[in-house]
Structure 1
Amino acid sequence: MLVRQLSWILVIFIFIAVGESKMTGLRGGCNGNDLRGLTAFKSGIRHDTSGRLEKWVGRDCCKWEGVTCEKKDKNTVKRVSELRLPGLISGDDFIIVTSMEGTLSPSIISLSALEVLDLSNLVNISGMIPRSIGSSLPNLRQLLLNGNELTGFIPESISNLSKLEDLQLHENHLSGTLPSSLGNLQYLRRLFLHSNKFSGQIPPSLMKSKNLLTLDLHGNNLKGRIPENIGMLKDLRKLDFSDNSLSGTLPSSLKNLTSLFEMYLEFNVLEGELITLPPSLGFLRLDGNRLTGRIPPFFQNLVSLQKVSLANNKFRGSLPSTLGSLSQLYFLNISNNLIEGPLPNEISSLQNLQTLDLSFNPLNLSPIPEWIGELPALCSIFLAGCGIKGELPEFLQSVQSPIFELDLSSNNLTGALPNWLGDLTSLSLLNLSRNFLASNLPNSLAQLKDLGVLDLHSNRLTGPIDHIFTMQKSSLKYVDLSHNKLTGGLPDSFRKMGTLQSLDLSYNRLGSDFPASLGLVSALERLNMQKNKFTGEIPNTVLKLGNLKELNLSDNLLVGEIPKGKPLSRFPKSSYSGNRGLCGIPLAPCRPGV
C-alpha cells in the first residue's frame, strides 16, 4: 500500500515538473537548440571589445543582448528570430566601433528559426560560411557577415534561402566563383559581394533576381563580359562592377535599366564605343578602361547626370556641345584621353559645375577660355597638360566662386608667379609644376593658410624660399620646389610645420646649415635635399623623425658624423653620398678627431 502511494506521488511530481517546464517555456524560455547554437558561437569568440557576450549568462537566451525571440505559435517555446551583433553600434548622436576576435562557429545554423543574422563589421571574425546554411536556416531574410576575415567559398546551399532579401558578404577574403544559383533568390534586393577574391565570370543567371535594387561586385578578380541580359534588372538602382578585369563591349541592354541611378564600371578592360547608357543615370564612372570613339551627343538626354568620369580612356574628337544641357552636373572628369579643342561655349551654362578636369588632352588651350572663370560654382580646376601658353590668366583672381584646387601643371606657362596668387585664400592645392615660370616666389604665398599641396617643381624660379615656411598654423602637407634655381637658406621655423609629410627641395642652389627645427616635423615621411649646397652637421634632432620613409641628402656640403640610430641608419649609402665631409653608418667610419 505504501509503495503504491509513493508511486502516485512520484507520477504527480513528474506531471508538475513537466508542466512547470512548459509554462517556463511559454513565459519566455529558450529553445534548447537555440541555446546550444548561441553558446557555441560565444565559445568561438576569444575577445569582444563591446562586452556584449560577457552578459550572456543563464539559460534564457531570449534576454541576451543582441538576441530577439518570437513565439511561432501559442503551444511552443519562443525561438530566436534575430541575432544582431554588428561591430558598429549607433545611436541618435553616437557611433561606437567594436570588434570580436575568434571563429564563426558552424553551430550558428542550429538557430533554425533565424530571420536576421547580423555579424557585420566585427573585423576579426574568421572561419567559413557554414556549408548547409541554406537548408538549415530556411526563414533567413538578412545575412550580414561583411567586414570580417571570412575565407572559403559561397556555399551552393545559399540558393535555398528563398526568403532572402539582403545578402552582404563584402570586405572578407572569400574566393572561388559566384554560384550561378544565386539567381534563384527571387526576393533578393541587395547583393554586396565586393572587396573579396572572387574569380571567374559574372553568371548570366544572376540577372534572374529581378527584384535587385543594388548589385555590388567591385574589387574582385572577375573576368569575361558583362552579361548581355543585365537589362532584365529593371528595378536596379545601383550597379558597381568596378576594379575587376571585365572585358568586351558595354551590353546594349543597359538602356533597359530605366531605374539605374549609379553605374560604376571603372578600372576594367572594357572596350569599344559608348553607344548607349541608361536614361536615369545620375552618377557615371567609366574611367580606366579602353573605350574609344567620340563622346556621343546623347548626353543631352541624360538630364539627371550629376557626376561623370570618363578619364583614362581613348576617347577622341571634340566634346559634344550637348554637355552644356546637363543642368545638374557638378563633377566632370574627362582627363587622359585624346580630346581636341576648342571647348564648346555651351559648357559655360553649367551653373552647378564645381569640378572640371580636362587634364592631359590635346586641347591646345591658348588662351584658357574666360568663361571658365564665370562658372558660378566652379572651385576645382584641373587643366594640366592641355597645351596652355602664355602667362597665368588674370581672370582667375576674380572668379565668382572661391578656388580650392588649381592645377595648370605640364603646360607652357611663362612669365612670373603673380602676387595675386595670395588673394586665392581658399586654395588647398596649387600645382604649377613643369612649366617655364621665371620669378621669385611671391611673398603673398604666405597668406594661403589652407594650402595643403604646393607643387612648383621644374620651373625657372629663383630667390629665397624662407617665407614659404613662416606661415602661422600652416596646413602644408606636400611641398615640391625641386628642379628650380632657388637660393638662400632654410629658416628655423619648421616647428610650425606640424602637418608637413613630404618636402622636396632637390636640384636647387640652396645653401645653409641643416636646420635643427626640421627634426621637429614629426609627420615628415619624405625629405629630399639632394643636389644643393647645404653645410654643417646633420643635427641629432633628425633622429626624432620616426615616420621618415625616404631620405636623400646626397651631393651637398654636409660634414661630421651621421647621428647614430633610426631612422637614419635605415637608409642606404646613396642617401648620403657626395658629401665629402660626412662619415659614419652607413658610410665609412669617422677618423679619430672627426
Structure 2
Amino acid sequence: MGYQLLWVLVVLTFWKTGEGKRSIVEACNSNDLKGLTGLKARIHFDNSGRLEKWIGQSCCNWEGISCDNMTGRVTEINLPGFITRDGAPLQTTMEGWLSHSITHLTFLEVVDLSGLSNLTGRIPPSIGFHLPKLRKLYLFGNKLSGSLPESIAKLSKLEEMYLHENSLSGTLPSSLGSLKNLKRLDLHSNRFSGEITDSITNLTTLVSLNLQDNSLIGHIPGRIGDLQVLEELDLSNNFLTGKIPLSVTNLTAISTIYLDTNSIEGDIPFPESLGQMPSLSFLRLHGNHLTGKIPSTIGYLISLQRISLADNKLEGPIPSSLGNLSSLSEIYLSGNQLSGQIPRSIGQLSQLLVFSVSHNMIQALLPREVTSLQNLQILDLSFNHLNLSSIPTWLVGLPSLSRLYLARCGIQGEISEYLQSTPSSLQELDLSSNYLTGTMPKWIGSLAQLYLLNLSRNSLVSKIPGSITNLRSLGVLDLHSNNLTGPMNQVFEIQSSFEGGSLVYVDLSDNTFSNGIEQIGKGAQYGIRYLNLSHNYLKGRLPSSVGKLEGIQSLDMSYNEIGSNLPDSMGHLSSLETLKLRKNQFTGEIPHGFLKLRRLKELDLSDNRLEGEIPLGKPLSDFPKSSYTGNTGLCGKPLTPCKV
C-alpha cells in the first residue's frame, strides 16, 4: 500500500513539472495532430521560423502550442505576427490560407493568429460547432475575407473576439446576440454592411464594442443603454443615420463614445442630470448632421478629457458650463455655426492643451482669461468674426503655445515682431486671409522649429528674405496670393535637418516672382509632394534637375513665361499624379518618357508651342483634347491624326 502511494506521489510531482508533461504526454492527440499539420500545410511561407520546428508527434512541445496537462489536448494556438525575440520586438509574417482543419482541435480555448498580414482565407463556417470551449479568438490584422459565420453563435464561452483590419463582409449575423459571455468585440476596418441588429443589445456582458470603418447603415439600436457594463463604444466612420438614442445616458460605465463620421442628426441628448455617465472621458461626435445647441448640461460630464463636436450644424453660444470640466484637455468645435463669444469660464480649464473653434461665427474680443491656459499648445480661432485688428501680445505670451492659427481674423498691418520672441518655439503659424501688409520680416528665419508657415491671401510685398533658408524643419510653406516679387531661389535652398528633405508642400502661386526656377531639384527637396508656382512671371527654362523631385505628386507651373523643351527627366517622376503647365512657351515634342508617368491622373499642356506626335500609349492617350489644345503643331490621339 505504501509503495502504491509513493508511486502516485512521484507521478503527480512529474505531472506538475514540464518534465512530467513530456514524459507522460509523449504523443499528440490524433485529431489535434491532424488539425495542426493541416494548418501548417496551408502556410507556404513563415519568416519567423516557428512552423518549421513543428516536427514529430509531440505537438504539445511545439512553439506556439499549449496543452492541458490533464488531458493532453491542445488548448491554445499562439502564433501572432508581432513577437519578441532576444528582448526586441519583431514583426513577422505568414503567407498562406487559414485552413479549416483548425476545427479538429475541439479543446481549443485560445486562437491567436493576429497580425499575419498575408494570411488569407475565410473563418471556417463550422467554427461554432467544433470549438465549444473557445474563449478568445484573435484573427485581426490579416487578409481574411468572406462573411462572419452564423455558427459563431454556438461559441457560448467566447469572451473576446478581435477580427478587425481584415476584408470581412456581409451583414452582422443576428445570432451575435447569443454570445452571453462576450466582453470584447472588435470588427473595425472591415467591409460589413447592413444594419446593426437590435440583438446586439443582448450582449449584456459587453465591455468594449468597436465597429468603426465599415459600411453599416440604419439607426443606432434604441436599447443601446441596456449594455450597462459597456466601457467603450466605437461605431465611427459608417453610414449610420437617425438620432442618438436617449438610452445612451443609461451607460453608467461608459468611458469612450465614438460616433463620429456618420450621418447622425438631431440634438445631443445627454447628459440630462448630474451623475449620468460619470466615467465618460472621450467623446467624438464630429462629422455628422447634429443640430441645436451644445447642451448647457455638458458640464455634468465631470470626467470628460477630450470632446470633438466639429463639422456638424450646431448653433448658439459655447456654454459656460464647459469651465466646470476640470480634466478637459482637448476641445474641437470647428465647422459649426456657433456664435456669441468664447466664455470667460474657459480660463478655468488648467489642463487644456487644444482649443479649436475655427469656421464658426464667434465674435467679440477674446476673453483675457485665456492667459490662464498655461498648458495650451494648440489654438485655432481661424475663420470667425473676431476682428482682432492685431494679435494680442498676451496671447502670444502663452508659455506652451506651439501651434497658432488665426486665419481670417481681421488682423491688419505688418507681421507682429513679438512673434519672434514667444516663450515656446512656434511650430505652426497660420495668418492667412487677413489684411497683412509690408514685407516678410528677416527675423522669420529665427523661428527654428517652424514646420508650417501660411501667410497666403494677404498683401505682403518685397522679396522672400534670405533668412528663410535657416528654417531647417520647414515642411509646409504657403505664400500664395500676395504681391511677393524677385527671385524665389531661397525657398529651394532650404537645407533640411532631416535626411531626405523636410519640405513637403510649397505654394508660391499668384505672386510676381520672375526667376529662380533654375534651382528646382538642386537642393534638399526630394520630399516635396506639392509644388505650385502658377500665375507668376517666371522665365527661362525648366532645368533637368526637376527630375530629382522623386516624391512629387502635384506640379503646377501654369500661367508663366517658361520656355524651351520639356525635360526628358520629367519621365522619372513616378509618383506624379497632377501636371499643369498651361499657358507657357514650351517648345519641341512631348518626351516619350512621359509614358512612364503611370500614376498621372490630371494633365494640362494646353496653350504652349509644343509640336509633333503625342507619344502613343497610356496615360497620355487617355486624357481629353483639352489637355493638349492651343499647341498648333501637336497631333495624334486624342487630337487629330498626324499627317504622313
> What interval of TM-score do these two structures reach, taking the shorter chain for normalisation?
0.7 to 0.9
The alignment status of 1:552 with 2:580, answered yes or no, reads yes
Q: Is 1:481 equivalent to 2:508 in the alignment?
A: yes
- Report deviation, 1:412: 5.0
Amino acid at match of 2:352: L
- TM-score, normalized by length of structure 1? 0.87
Contact 1:358 1:382 in 2 (8 A): no
Identify the residue that residue 33 of structure 1 maps to in structure 2: 31
Give the corresponding residue for 2:526.
Answer: 498
Structure 1 209/136 Cα, relative in aligned 2: closer, same or farther at 3 Å?
same
The reply on whether 1:364 has 2:385 as its aligned counterpart is: yes
Give, in angstroms, the shift of residue 555 of structure 1.
1.5
Q: Hey, what does 2:308 align to over in structure 1? A: 309
Letter in 2 for 1:364: H
Q: Tell whether the 8 Å contact from 2:574 to 2:597 is kept in structure 1 after alignment.
A: no
C-alpha displacement at 1:371, in angstroms? 5.2
**1:171-320 equivalence runs, <5 A:** 171-277=165-271, 278-320=277-319
**Which residue does 1:334 correspond to in 2?**
333
The amino acid across from 2:49 in the alignment is G
2:429 is the alignment partner of 1:402: no
Matching residue of 1:440: 463
Distance (Å, rounded) in 2 between the aligned partners of 1:154 and 1:240: 19
Alpha-carbon separation, structure 2, partners of 1:366 and 1:412 = 11
Give the residue type in structure 1 aligned to 2:182: L
Cα deviation code 1:230-287 (max 9, x no counterpart): 2222332221100111111112222222332222111101111113153422222111
Shift of 1:118: 0.9
- Between 265-274 and 222-231, report the one with greater CA deviation: 222-231
- Counterpart Cα distance in 1 of 2:353 and 2:60: 53
Deviation at 1:366? Answer: 0.9
Aligned to 1:107: 101
RMSD, matched Cα: 2.7
Q: Please identify, of 41-50 and 525-534, the stretch whose mean Cα deviation from structure 2 is larger.
A: 41-50
User: Could you report, residue by residue, the CA deviation over 1:366-421 in whole angstroms, capped at 9, with x for unpaired residues?
Assistant: 10665543444332334445566665455544444332223344455555444443
Pairwise CA distance, 1:67:
1.1
Of 436, 445, 450, the residue aligned with 1:422 is 445
Structure 1 residue 506: Cα displacement: 0.9
**Partner residue in 2 for 1:534:** 562
Question: What does 1:545-584 correspond to in 2, within 5 Å?
Answer: 545-566=573-594, 575-580=604-609, 583=612
Moved more, 399-408 or 247-256: 399-408
Query: Which secondary structure state, in structure 2, belongs to the residue aligned with residue 151 of structure 1?
Result: strand
How much does 1:521 deviate? Answer: 2.2
Shift of 1:574: 5.4
How far apart in 2 are the matches of 1:257 and 1:318?
A: 28
Displacement of 1:568? 6.5
More divergent stretch after superposition (472-481 vs 355-364): 355-364
Within 2, Cα distance between the matches of 1:403 and 1:33? Answer: 65
Other structure's SS at 1:183 match: helix
Q: Distance in 1 between matches of 2:238 and 2:596?
A: 40
Is structure 2 residue 159 aligned with structure 1 residue 165? yes
CA contact (8 A) 2:204 2:229 kept: yes
Q: Which SS does the other structure have where 1:253 is aligned?
A: helix
Task: Answer yes or no: is the 8 Å Cα contact 1:279–1:302 preserved in 2.
Answer: yes
Q: Cα 1:161–1:581, aligned 2, differ >3 Å: closer, same or farther?
A: closer
CA–CA separation in structure 2 for the residues paired with 1:187 and 1:248: 30
8 Å contact from structure 1 (residues 358, 386) kept in 2: no
Instruction: Tell me which moved more, 288-297 or 512-521.
Output: 512-521
1:192 offset after TM fit, Å?
Answer: 0.5
Contact 1:487 1:508 in 2 (8 A): yes
- Closer, same or farther: CA 100–505 of 1 in aligned 2, 3 Å: same
> Which of 460, 480, 492 matches 2:483?
460
Which of 505, 514, 518 is matched with 2:546 structurally? 518
Q: Is the alpha carbon distance of 1:130 and 1:585 closer, same or farther for their aligned partners in structure 2, counting shifts above 3 Å? A: same
1:91 deviation in Å? 4.7
Distance, in Å, in 1 between the alignment partners of 2:146 and 2:394 is: 56
Aligned to 2:371: none
288-297 or 25-34, larger mean C-alpha shift: 25-34
Provide the secondary structure at the position in 1 that maps to 2:404: strand
Q: Among 51, 54, 59, which residue is 2:52 paired with?
A: 54
- 3-state DSSP class of the match of 2:39? helix
Instruction: Indicate the larger mover: 299-308 or 113-122.
Output: 299-308
TM superposition shift of 1:216: 0.2
Q: Is the 8 A contact 1:351 1:377 kept in 2?
A: no
**Partner amino acid for 1:228?**
G
Contact 1:303 / 1:325 at 8 angstroms: preserved in 2?
yes
What is the alpha-carbon distance in structure 1 between the residues aligned to residue 601 and residue 149 of structure 2? 50
* Structure-1 residue corresponding to 2:374: none
- AA partner of residue 396 (structure 2): G
Cα distance in 2 for residues equivalent to 1:237 and 1:404: 36
**TM-score using structure 2 length:** 0.81
Q: 2:619 — aligned with what?
A: none
Distance 1:538 1:176, change over 3 A: closer
CA distance in 1, matches of 2:160, 2:50: 25
Could you tell me whether the CA contact under 8 Å between 2:230 and 2:254 is conserved in 1?
Answer: yes
SS at match of 1:360: coil
How far apart, CA to CA, are the structure 2 residues paired with 1:249 and 1:448? 49
User: Could you tell me which residue of structure 1 aligns to residue 367 of structure 2?
Assistant: none
Taking the aligned partners of 2:311 and 2:86, their CA distance within structure 1 comes to: 42
Deviations 1:22-64 (A, max 9, x none): x998333200000011111112223223232222111221122
Partner Cα distance (1:349, 1:115) in 2: 51
Q: Number of matched residues?
A: 564
Partner of 2:68: 70
**For residues 572 and 372 of structure 1, what CA distance do their matches in structure 2 show?**
44
Which amino acid letter does the alignment assign opposite residue 228 of structure 2?
A: K
Determine if contact 2:460/2:484 at 8 Å carries over to the other structure: yes
What's 2:354 paired with?
355
Q: Is the 8 A contact 2:570 2:593 kept in 1?
A: no
Q: CA contact under 8 A between 2:67 and 2:75: conserved in structure 1?
A: yes
Match of 1:8 in 2: none
Gaps in structure 1 of 5+ consecutive residues: 1-22
How many angstroms does 1:341 deviate by? 4.2
Task: Determine the structure 2 residue equivalent to 1:9.
Answer: none
Aligned counterparts of 1:159 and 1:477: Cα–Cα separation in 2: 50
After superposition, the Cα gap between the structure-2 partners of 1:370 and 1:469, relative to the gap in structure 1 and judged at 3 Å, is same
Task: Give me the identity figure in percent.
Answer: 48
Q: What letter matches 2:47 in structure 1?
A: T
- Three-state SS of the structure 2 residue aligned to 1:551 is strand
Q: CA 1:93–1:413 in structure 2 vs 1: closer, same or farther (change >3 Å)? A: farther
Aligned to 1:322: 321
Deviation of 1:159 after TM superposition, in Å, equals 1.9
**Cα distance between partner residues in 2 of 1:251 and 1:578:** 58
CA 1:548–1:574: 2 relative to 1, 3 Å:
closer
Q: Distance in 2 between matches of 1:344 and 1:337?
A: 17
Counterpart amino acid of 2:507?
D
* 8 Å contact from structure 2 (residues 139, 163) kept in 1: yes
